């Protein structure tokens, strides 16, 4: 039996925290796992710049948008900035 891979890949490059979603469907289960991973990484490194790469995401549930808003608020509290990249327009449509 194989464990499910982490829904988010995290690495740091020249002071920028880069978080790439591996999951294609961001639903409640993925949000539960990803938010812990993302907040733990942010709390550990306090990066001033965070990029969330959504290239692999085909569906983003409203819970995922709420998670990203929470991460933005968390990062802004210490003066950091959040950027989203490779967001597909249709990933937010029903």
As a CATH number, domain 8-92 is 3.30.750.24
**What confidence category does residue 89 fall into, taking pLDDT thresholds of 50, 70 and 90?**
confident
Average pLDDT over residues 58-80: 94
- Alpha-helical (H) ranges within the chain are 28-45, 62-76
Model-level pTM?
A: 0.87
Q: Strands of 49-53's sheet, edge to edge?
A: 8-13, 16-21, 49-53, 81-85
Side-chain-side CA neighbours of residue 62 (13 Å): 1
Where exactly are the structural domains of the chain?
8-92
State the maximum Cα–Cα separation within the chain, in Å, rounded to a whole number: 43
Other C-beta atoms lying within 10 Å of the C-beta of residue 17: 23
**What confidence category does residue 41 fall into, taking pLDDT thresholds of 50, 70 and 90?**
very high
**Chain-centroid distance, C-alpha 61:** 13
Sign of CA dihedral 28, 34, 38, 44: positive
């Amino acid at each position: 039996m194989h464990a499910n891979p982490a829904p988010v890949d995290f690495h740091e490059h020249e002071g920028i925290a880069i978080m790439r979603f591996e999951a294609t469907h961001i639903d409640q289960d993925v949000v539960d796992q990803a938010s812990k991973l993302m907040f733990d990484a942010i709390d550990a490194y306090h990066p001033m710049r965070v990029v969330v790469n959504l290239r692999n995401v085909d569906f983003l549930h409203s819970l995922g948008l709420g998670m990203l808003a929470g991460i933005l608020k968390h990062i802004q509290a210490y003066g950091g900035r959040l950027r989203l990249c490779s967001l597909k327009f249709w990933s937010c449509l029903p």
